[in-house]
Structure 1
Amino acid sequence: MTRQRHFSMIRDFQLADWFTLGNAVCGTSAIFAAMRYLQEGGGGGGIRDLMLGMALIPLAFVFDALDGRVARWRKVASTLGRELDSLADVISFGVAPAVLGYACGLQGGWDWVVLSYFVACGVSRLARYNVTAETLADGGDKVKYFEGTPIPSSVAIVLLLAVAAWQGALGDAIWFGQWQLGPWQLHPLVLVYALSGSLMISKTLRIPKP
């Protein structure tokens, strides 16, 4: 009988998997930064936390790009690595951008609905990709195109929020103001999340994969 080693799962991780975990850590840290900003009430120290959180999402994108390159370089692509990548992407490019948007002032009832829709689209996009990756590869080793925009495209939203934060357009001063629609408020800026999520789940939009 083979004796199982302690931490055997971690011992089996490939180099690319550690880059993927770096992606997840960046996304999780961005969420904590947004929570700290809200806890501190948006003061001077708080805005630094918020900007740090936003800066971590592009860093997560770098880790996300490197894990695939490292896996191809070492020729160790695996199902575990693909699943790890999807789970990390949900955190860094799905949940974290939504939380950062909420921290910036997208806190109306309709905003919650749209932000939740955005995250659901990201989860659905990644699930569909994992299921259809083999088919899209057309018998080869590499997927030739994306159906819908890849979830890391949400980095663009975070960069937009970073510009708004740099200009002080947060909370009540957020770009485009707010609308009262029935019992809840809607901040028009949140519609960029609705657009991004809808593009993710499009089956007609095909983007060549580099």
Structure 2
Amino acid sequence: MSSPRPAATPAPARRHFSMIRGFHLADAFTLGNAACGVGGVFLAMAYVGSQSLNFFLWAAALAPAAFIFDVFDGRVARWRQTHSALGRELDSLADVISFGVAPAALAFAAGLNGVWDCLILIYFVCCGVSRLARYNVTAEALSEGADKVKYFEGTPIPTSVVLVGVLAWAAWQGHVGTAVWGGSWQLGPWVLHPLTLMFALSGTLMISKTLRIPKF
């Protein structure tokens, strides 16, 4: 006669907001990065509607603020030894907003809004997304068993802060809109503003596999 089967252990009830309980202090800095990016997009739209230089400059100022949050989230994670897959994904998503979408939105607001410009800005954002996805996939291999990655393949997406700085300087000098630096070219049926080419260069450098940038 076979012995009775033990009763199955009931699965533990799923707790509400378990994702929030899984957040670490470093993730709060990452979300600060994302908040700066969203704020930059909103301020760029506010500038388009009002043409108030203050909105444009505040939008530009949020880019280095996002960069500071981005630097500190990594430092805090290493200090508290709280690296996690969730934190890595949060960091990439925040970077897409702050250093991809927000700079592109600011460029559009600055007058780089011809069809060729828009295609280049879309290319720039897509390069940033691809760069971050590749980093997430290859980070473990690039670290070679160490705690951190030794080098970046392609330029890191936060380097777009330099592009935002150029746009902020142009706005401060009154060279946005119809007076944007470099003027405009009529290429076929569409307009291209040469200043947009710096976004094309930045995007191309981000997806380069041969360019290696040491990570300090």
Q: 2:156 aligns with which of 116, 140, 150?
A: 150
Between 63-72 and 131-140, the greater mean CA deviation after superposition: 131-140
| Pairing of 1:180-195 with structure 2 (within 5 A) | 180-195=186-201
Aligned-partner residue type, residue 29 of structure 1 = G
Structure 1 residue 5 displacement after superposition? 3.4
Considering only CA atoms, is the larger Rg found in Structure 1 or Structure 2?
2
Aligned-partner residue type, residue 64 of structure 1 = D
Aligned-partner residue type, residue 180 of structure 1 = Q
In structure 2, the residue matched to 1:27 is: 37
In structure 1, the residue matched to 2:5 is: none
Rounded Cα–Cα distance in structure 1 between residues aligned with 2:195 and 2:22: 44
Aligned partner of residue 77 in structure 1, secondary structure: coil
Question: Percent identity of the aligned residues?
Answer: 67
Query: What are structure 2's unaligned runs of at least 5 residues?
Result: 1-10
2:110 is the counterpart of 1:104 = yes
Q: Deviations over 1:127-163 (max 9, x none)?
A: 0000000110112221000000000000000001000
Rounded Cα–Cα distance in structure 1 between residues aligned with 2:204 and 2:22: 37
List, as ranges, runs of 4+ consecutive aligned residues in structure 1 with deviation greater than 4 Å.
Answer: none
Give the root-mean-square deviation of aligned CA atoms. Answer: 0.8
Q: 2:18 aligns with which of 2, 8, 20?
A: 8
Rounded Cα–Cα distance in structure 2 between residues aligned with 1:103 and 1:11: 39
Aligned partner of residue 207 in structure 1, secondary structure: strand
Rounded Cα–Cα distance in structure 1 between residues aligned with 2:126 and 2:201: 13
Aligned partner of residue 75 in structure 2, secondary structure: helix
In structure 2, the residue matched to 1:141 is: 147
Structure 1 residue 53 displacement after superposition? 0.6
When normalised by structure 1's length, the TM-score is 0.96
When normalised by structure 2's length, the TM-score is 0.94
Rounded Cα–Cα distance in structure 1 between residues aligned with 2:87 and 2:80: 13
Query: What are structure 1's unaligned runs of at least 5 residues?
Result: none
